[in-house]
Amino acid sequence: MILFVGLGNPGAKHAHNRHNIGFMAADEIIRRHGFSAARSRFQGDVSEGRLGGNKVLVVKPTTYMNESGRSVAEAANFYKIEPHDIVVFHDELDLDPGRMRVKTGGGTAGHNGLRSIERFLGKEFRRVRLGIGHPGRDRVLSYVLKDFVRSDSEWLDPLIEAVADHAEYLARGEDATFANRVHLTLNPATDDTKDKKKDKEKD
C-alpha cells in the first residue's frame, strides 16, 4: 500500500489558505481518480483507491499542521507502510508559485507539518513540494495563512490538476517520470520548439 498525505489545516476558514495547497492536491487526486468518500480515521480524513496498479490510502490530517505526524504515523504503523512508500504533498515557500519539485528526505525549511512527520517517521519519506512563493522573512505566517487570491487560479488550478493527472507515477515509485510529466503539462512545447526539434532530428 502507498500512503499519500495532503498537509493543511482543517476547517472552512482554512480551506483556501496557501498553507492548504497539500489538502487541495489530495482532494483533486481523490476526485479525479474516483477514490472512496472520506471517513474519519487515524486522526484524519481518509480515502482509498487504486493508482498505477497499487492500492493508495489518502490521508488529510485533522490534527492541525503542527501535529500532522501523529495522524501520518498512525496510518503508517497500522498498515506497516515504510517511509519510502509515503508521499507528502505540501506548500513550499522556496519555489516560485506554480513550480513543483519532488524529493526524498532532506530538511524541513521550517515547515511545521514536515517537522512533525519527521519526529515520528524520520526523514526518508517522499515530498511533493508545491511552490507558493516567498513573501519575505517577516511576513511568512500571515502569508501562508491567508487565502489564495483570484489571480492565483491562473497557475494554481493547472498545477493541482497536473499533479492529480499524473499521480499514478508516484504510486509506482516513478518520481522522476511524475515530475517530468507535470513539467511538460504545465510547460507544453511551443510550435517553434517542436520545429527546432524536428530540424535537429533531420540533421
Q: Catalytic residue numbers?
A: 19
Sheet architecture: strand order including 54-61: 39-41, 44-51, 54-61, 2-6, 86-92, 126-131, 100-104
- Whole-angstrom CA distances from 64 to 72, 147, 153, 167 are 12, 17, 25, 25
| CB contact set of 155 (below 8 Å; sequence gap of 6+) | 97, 98
Q: Hey, what's the cell of 165?
A: 493527472
Question: Which burial class, exposed, middle or buried, applies to 148 when counting CB atoms under 10 A from its CB (0-12, 13-18, 19+)?
Answer: middle
Nearest to 88 by CA among 53, 59, 62: 59
